[in-house]
Structure 1
């Protein structure tokens, strides 16, 4: 009887991951793409109108910086999630620590998706400050939890944490000035 032929690399299940590579990739891209789409829809009509009319601090970047920064950050976030999904759960008999890291990742992503409509659509700058501050805490906690399973994934989230810290400061300044 001949030996079985190994599966092609694209369909092989990564070590520690119960998901085929293509499904893990889809599970990483879809929630991040949905978050980006929510942000795009929420800001599109508000940037030239409502946002343009707000008083902003001297450190507010030009409007074109935001989509460039978020494209880079969302790409890094999706890669980090893809890596986390492929990481071998090493804590506890059923990987409770890994599940906590994944839950934190998804919660921070939901907060990211929530901030843009709260700020831009509802114009609730104070409520948006609360959301972005909680988002910052969750991103930092996600980095800490992810570190145990995939350090590269954790490092990929560091620029995101820095940007969210900047967004928190910017949101607070806009609230104070308006």
Structure 2
């Protein structure tokens, strides 16, 4: 464990950044907010404009990578394995949301994906909390934004009358 007088291992930060960037790029490949399908979806009045999403996601992705790298440096070997599994599942679900909502053109699938991601976020937070409080705190805005996205998806599903 790094502490006073020990050297910090940067490799976990780099590995986490690569994993997070891969998830972000995979998810972004499915997003098309200019499509007629998306523009015609009934959205709640409290949905932010499209430009807000990448603006918010960029620092959120950075905090996920930072938290993962920091936690890795503080975790025991079994905790590291749990972190890798939890984060892999989480990033997969994160990217999958874009594909289930945008690529599949299914608000209902998007909502289901959001709910799975929310559960995964709680698991990642719990996993990180076993090793690092600051790493845990850094993940809270990510979880909050995903809960907000779940509420947006639910509102779209509620108002979407298409089959």
Q: What TM-score do the two structures reach when normalised by structure 1?
A: 0.80
Counterpart Cα distance in 2 of 1:103 and 1:84: 13
For 2:65, the equivalent position in structure 1 comes to 78
In structure 2, how many angstroms separate the alpha carbons of the residues matched to 1:80 and 1:146? Answer: 8
Task: Report the aligned-residue RMSD.
Answer: 1.6
Cα distance between partner residues in 1 of 2:38 and 2:54: 15
CA distance in 1, matches of 2:75, 2:121: 21
Q: Any unmatched runs of 5+ in structure 1?
A: 1-11, 15-19, 90-94
Larger radius of gyration: 1
| Matching of residue 25 in structure 1 with residue 7 in structure 2 | no
Q: Name which of 52, 56, 67 aligns with 2:54.
A: 67
* Alignment correspondent of 2:29: 41
1:24 to partner: Cα distance: 1.9
Identify the structure with bigger relative contact order (alpha carbons < 8 Å, sequence gap 6+). Answer: 2
> For structure 2, which runs of at least 5 residues remain unmatched after alignment?
1-5
Aligned partners of 2:46, 2:106: CA distance in 1, in Å?
Answer: 21
Equivalent residues, number: 154
Q: Name whichever structure is richer in helix by fraction.
A: 2
